[in-house]
């Protein structure tokens, strides 16, 4: 008699981008007081992946201090738990993370700078990975991670299109298709990417840009609160890269 297969324990291998000089044992000691790889440490690794991935996007949410990446509060809560504020403060003190703490005028912002929410936008502060954790030749390493269904569902929820209403199936379909687009690695594509990098229109080398664009755990799609336009890394990419 055939046995039913539960989807709860289905595993999946994903590619994580982590800072090249990151020592996971040391990070775990900082967070928990002992070596290993706790759930909280894995959550921080997922946050590093998110920051590295978003930093590859050529679209800049802020014109000043563009090296900092906007991270919505719901992303921090999902990856680090409800005590994410305390975890972030610990990472800042220990030199595992940097936060943008001043506005355009250089005025100090206690707890981190953020713009006032517009329409349905969540509060999002800006972070970056310290230079000491990034390699000189290549700032990251790719680590394969086997994750269970719970983590898969968490990533899917974070990547789900934001701002859609229940009666917009066509717009939702377009959003899903945006998340499936990849760049084909050809000499012609690399030549275009090299030109964009030379012009400063993308932040990474062709090799790194291709790797980060195509191997993407978090490919977010949001809806403009005013014009109801869909925004994604595809839309935000230079025009020559768009379908």
Pairing of strands 124-128, 140-147: unpaired
Residue boundaries of the structural domains of the chain: 12-133, 162-241
pLDDT at 226: 58
pLDDT per position as a tens digit, 10-19: 888 888 889 9
Mean pLDDT of 114-139: 76
Mean pLDDT of 221-241: 72
Q: Which two tokens stand for residue 29?
A: 């000691």
Mean pLDDT of 101-127: 77
Residue 64 has pLDDT above 80, yes or no: no
Pairing of strands 221-223, 140-147: unpaired
pLDDT per position as a tens digit, 134-158: 887 778 888 888 888 888 888 877 7
Residue 161 has pLDDT above 70, yes or no: no
Residue 129 has pLDDT above 60, yes or no: yes
Question: Whole-model pTM?
Answer: 0.75
């Amino acid at each position: 008699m055939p046995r039913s297969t539960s989807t709860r324990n289905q595993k999946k291998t994903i590619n994580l981008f982590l800072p090249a000089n990151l020592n996971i044992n040391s990070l775990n000691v900082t967070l928990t007081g002992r070596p290993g790889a706790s759930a909280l440490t894995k959550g921080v690794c997922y946050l590093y992946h998110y920051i590295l991935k978003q930093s590859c996007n050529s679209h800049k949410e802020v014109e000043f201090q563009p090296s900092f990446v906007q991270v919505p509060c719901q992303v921090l809560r999902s990856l680090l738990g409800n005590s994410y504020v305390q975890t972030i403060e610990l990472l800042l003190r220990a030199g595992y993370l940097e936060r943008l703490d001043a506005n355009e005028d250089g005025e100090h912002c206690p707890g981190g700078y953020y713009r006032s929410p517009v329409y349905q936008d969540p509060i999002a502060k800006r972070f970056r990975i310290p230079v000491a954790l990034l390699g000189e030749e290549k700032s990251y390493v790719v680590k394969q991670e086997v994750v269970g269904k719970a983590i898969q569902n968490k990533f899917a929820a974070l990547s789900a299109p934001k701002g859609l209403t229940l009666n917009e199936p066509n717009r939702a379909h377009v959003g899903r298709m945006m998340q499936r687009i990849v760049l084909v690695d050809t000499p012609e594509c690399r030549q275009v990417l090299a030109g964009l990098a030379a012009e400063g229109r993308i932040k990474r080398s062709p090799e790194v840009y291709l790797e980060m664009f195509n191997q993407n755990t978090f490919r977010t799609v949001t809806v403009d609160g005013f014009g109801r336009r869909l925004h994604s890394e595809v839309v935000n990419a230079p025009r020559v890269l768009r379908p």
